[in-house]
Amino acid sequence: MAKAGTGRRRRKLGWVILLALIVAGAGGWAAVTRPWVAKPLSVKVETMALGPVSQVLAVNGRIAAKRSVVLRATVQARVVSVGADVGDTVTEGQLLTQLDDSQQKLLVQQALAALDAGEARRDQGKINLERTQALGDNVTRASLDSAETEYRAAENEVSGLQAVLEQAENQLEQYAVRSPLDGVVLARGAETGQLVDAQSELFTVADLSDLLVETDVDELYSSQMKVGLKALLKPAGGTAAQTGVVSFAAPTVDPDTGGRAIKIAFDTPVSLPIGLTVNANIIVEENPSALSVPRAAVLTDGARTYVMVEEAGVAKQRDVGIIDWPADRLEITSGLTEGDRVIIDPSKVKTGQAVAGVDG
């Protein structure tokens, strides 16, 4: 019996010791972790530091020629021959389309014949005047005046007929459609036998040695556009951006599209197809030393703009001034200084909440 009692006491003592160890361990864990105290929320922060900030406006444009001309007929006639096709290189003055000018040639011949007859009458009038003048006192004043009048009238008639001939010859030139510049044919609308008029687009010719980018800027940012702004241009399919400069800014905003037309010239000549899409980053302004934050870090409440910062382990609101620009990062003009720790995703925290910032 004594041995059995001793065994029970030993087992009981073991359980007591085990329980004591568990209690002691739990107490140590509680003392270290303090589960009754709210733990700070881990958040990503960005420590403010001065650096270069650029206001860049990204737009899409297309390659265009600086000099491009759409040729139309100035007369109504039928196409007799076509001298060029799309892709052909042409020179200034080269015949591209010949229109039927047979009727106009007849008018030129008639004008020329009328001029010849008028010149003959003028020459005869001059002979008569000189003969009358040679008679001196033997001719009446009335006869002399009549000879002078006939000659002057013949001279005036010749001048008029010369003008008619020049007009007919100039009109004849309109039947020959020529290239106004050295370039390449981009489009052809003329076909042999086709009846054309002033509305018919016969050819489009462009000088491909001088290319630029044409685009529109939304009216929200149109006032920032001016000639001379630098740009980075990346044609579709290209691997590297090329530099350029705004060479033209339209003086008006298109009321239908709400866009302001601009043109950007390449710093170095390029050889690219007309119409190719180009991504243009226009550098509106550059600040070599400024503070900036991710756009997602900025909150608004009515007219108020603010960010959340980690300050002594607590999330706090900080009013800021910004330059609002369509970019991933916004320049800070007031409210923050170097060393401030801005919470990148402020939607996860509340004012006064304990936080632990992690540089992200």
Could you tell me if residue 226 is left (phi over 0), alpha (psi between -120 and 50 degrees) or otherwise beta?
A: beta
Query: In the prediction, which pLDDT does 265 show?
Result: 97
Residue 271 phi/psi, 5-degree rounding, is -120, 100
Predicted confidence (pLDDT) per residue in 84-129, tens digit: 999 999 999 999 999 999 999 999 999 999 999 999 999 998 998 8
What whole-number distance in Å separates Cα of residue 60 and Cα of residue 217?
9
344 confidence band (pLDDT: 50, 70, 90): very high
Which tokens hold the place of 250? 């339209």
Average pLDDT on 273-278 reads: 95
Query: In the prediction, which pLDDT does 6 show?
Result: 61
Query: In the prediction, which pLDDT does 26 show?
Result: 56
206 confidence band (pLDDT: 50, 70, 90): very high
Query: In the prediction, which pLDDT does 83 show?
Result: 94
Average pLDDT on 329-345 reads: 95
- With vertex at residue 297, the alpha carbon angle to CA 295 and CA 299, rounded to the nearest 5 degrees, is 95
Judge contact between 323 and 280, C-beta under 8 A. no
- The pairing of strands 259-266 and 51-65 is unpaired
At residue 62, does pLDDT exceed 90? Answer: yes
What whole-number distance in Å separates Cα of residue 245 and Cα of residue 309?
39
Predicted confidence (pLDDT) per residue in 231-260, tens digit: 999 999 888 889 999 999 999 999 999 999
- The pairing of strands 51-65 and 211-218 is antiparallel
316 confidence band (pLDDT: 50, 70, 90): very high
Where in the chain are the domains?
42-53+288-359, 58-67+209-287, 69-178
CATH number (2.60.40.2230, 3.40.50.300, 2.40.30.170, 3.30.70.2860) of 58-67+209-287 reads 2.40.30.170
Query: In the prediction, which pLDDT does 248 show?
Result: 97
Query: In the prediction, which pLDDT does 133 show?
Result: 85
Query: In the prediction, which pLDDT does 79 show?
Result: 97
What is the CATH architecture of 42-53+288-359? Beta Barrel (2.40)
Average pLDDT on 184-200 reads: 95
Average pLDDT on 255-275 reads: 95
At residue 33, does pLDDT exceed 60? Answer: no
Predicted confidence (pLDDT) per residue in 211-237, tens digit: 999 999 999 999 999 999 999 999 998
